Amino acid sequence: MRKLVLLAALLGMFFVGGCISTSFLGTKEPEADAFAGGTDGLATEFVNLPSTILSETPFDIIISVDNKGETFVAGSAATFTLNNAGIFGIADATKFNNIDLSGIRQVRGTVSPGGQDQIFWQGAIFKGVVLTEQQSVPLAVDACYQYRTTGVSTICIARSDKTCQPIGDKVIESSGAPVQITSLRQIAQPSGGNVELGISFEIANRGSGDVFPVEAICPDPDLNKKGAVTLDSIRLGSRLIKPQVCSDEIRTNCCSETTISTFRGEGSMDCRVSVQTTRDFEEQLAIELVYKYKDKIAAQVNIIPF
């Protein structure tokens, strides 16, 4: 109840100029299980990494890359950086994916796998000094890439509860990605000849890595911007209601503000739009988030004097 009261208060605080005419709208239901789902993006792991290595003996460092989410990643769009590259004699620490990595897809109830690739650092040789009979050395690779999350729900555009429920929580489906849209609430109420619609949604980083706004640059995004997600668009039916050109007074609303800040991996945003209509109906709402994601895998290798 407190959440609904807070959302009602937001309706009085924010206003998006203009109305959405019903000529742009048509009653739509999101397809059941529209997404394959999951909380992964690009999953990486070491391939046949030896546990013990003779010093001064060359070996290859190989990782596999598996797109386990639903976002397409173009060739050379993701970076993979070998930490401690210098101690292994590797000059080119950062590599890129060699091929396009398609996302997973759900087709007739069956999930088809995403694209896969392998990244190589060849001829690695330990350049440090082995002080004991066996020395453990850390080895890690950072993956950094752009990813996207889509959330789909059915919204009630109504003046009363005769057609649908205009106030309350709505089920929202989120595409397979590290960042998930975890909840959606709405309030619809009459205002003159229009329906004033307020929505509030929450997001969460469910992956194992860190999220950054889309303008961050891989492989080393600005740590001061860690935890922020970029709101790319909101659509009501076929009509784009975000982004909009807004006045300074409503920059905290979803029309011009594009950054969702998170605390301990969770964040939220509120939005209001005026729908010009003479009837009550349900409509599909689609929310698009875009961001950079940085994840890490780590291992230990034991170096034995030659």
What confidence tens digit (pLDDT) does each residue in 186-229 have?
999 998 888 888 899 999 999 999 999 999 999 999 999 999 99
What pLDDT is stored for residue 274 in this prediction?
Answer: 80
The structural domain count of the chain equals 2
For the segment 241-263, the average pLDDT, to the nearest whole number, is 58
pTM for this predicted structure: 0.86
Pair 287, 215 in one domain: yes
Pair 158, 168 in one domain: yes
Pair 9, 48 in one domain: no
List the alpha helices (DSSP H) in the chain.
2-13
Structural domain of 10? 2-36+147-294
Pair 66, 124 in one domain: yes
What pLDDT is stored for residue 256 in this prediction?
Answer: 58
C-alpha dist (Å) from residue 245 to 15, 199, 273: 12, 19, 13
Instruction: State the pLDDT confidence band at 38, using cuts at 50, 70 and 90.
Output: very high
Contacts with 142 (C-beta within 8 Å, 6 or more apart), sequence order: 79, 80, 81, 83, 219, 294, 295, 296
Pair 12, 140 in one domain: no
* pLDDT cut 70: percent of the chain above it: 83
**Mean of the per-residue pLDDT values for the chain?**
85
Q: What is the CATH number of the domain that holds 84?
A: 2.60.40
Pair 300, 284 in one domain: no
Pair 138, 173 in one domain: no
Pair 31, 73 in one domain: no
Lowest average pLDDT, out of 14-18, 40-44, 100-104, goes to 14-18
Distance in angstroms (rounded) separating the CA atoms of residues 247 and 213: 23
